[in-house]
Amino acid sequence: MNQTPRRRILVADDDPVNRRLASMLLDRAGHDAVVVEDGLAAVAAFPGGFDLILLDVDMPGLTGLEAATRIRAAEKAATLPRTVVVALTGYSGHHDRQVCLEAGMDDVLVKPLTPEVLDRLLK
């Protein structure tokens, strides 16, 4: 059976339904999810050794874009290896994708998160 390895994944989303969905899908896929509700909490949790970070782009306070920028700066300052950071967004336009990539994100997923999309990402 071809199974993806167990990963530790940070999820930051201000919507409780989206957090619960992401946590459930990751758990069902055999991964460990650490779920936070905003960008500041994501930046604070970042040095916790994650294999992947999923950041909602449009969070109040510190947005996912700002959180990604801070995470990349922290990696550089501490000479840490690059962690894969993926944007979670409700928008699918080319401009939105480009803004996410310029902020230091590696990819963009359009919500809602589904098992199929998550599986492709993790492979």
**In this structure, what DSSP letter does residue 41 have?**
H
Question: 8-122, which class in CATH?
Answer: alpha beta
Q: What does the alpha-carbon distance between residue 17 and residue 103 come to, in Å, rounded to a whole number?
A: 26
Tell whether the model's pLDDT for residue 107 goes beyond 50: yes
Tell whether the model's pLDDT for residue 3 goes beyond 80: no
The distance from CA 86 to its chain's CA centroid, rounded to whole angstroms, is: 5
Q: What does the alpha-carbon distance between residue 53 and residue 121 come to, in Å, rounded to a whole number?
A: 12
Three-class secondary structure of residue 14 per DSSP: coil
pLDDT in tens, 41-73: 999 999 989 999 999 999 999 999 999 999 999
**pTM for this prediction:** 0.92
Q: What does the alpha-carbon distance between residue 57 and residue 12 come to, in Å, rounded to a whole number?
A: 9
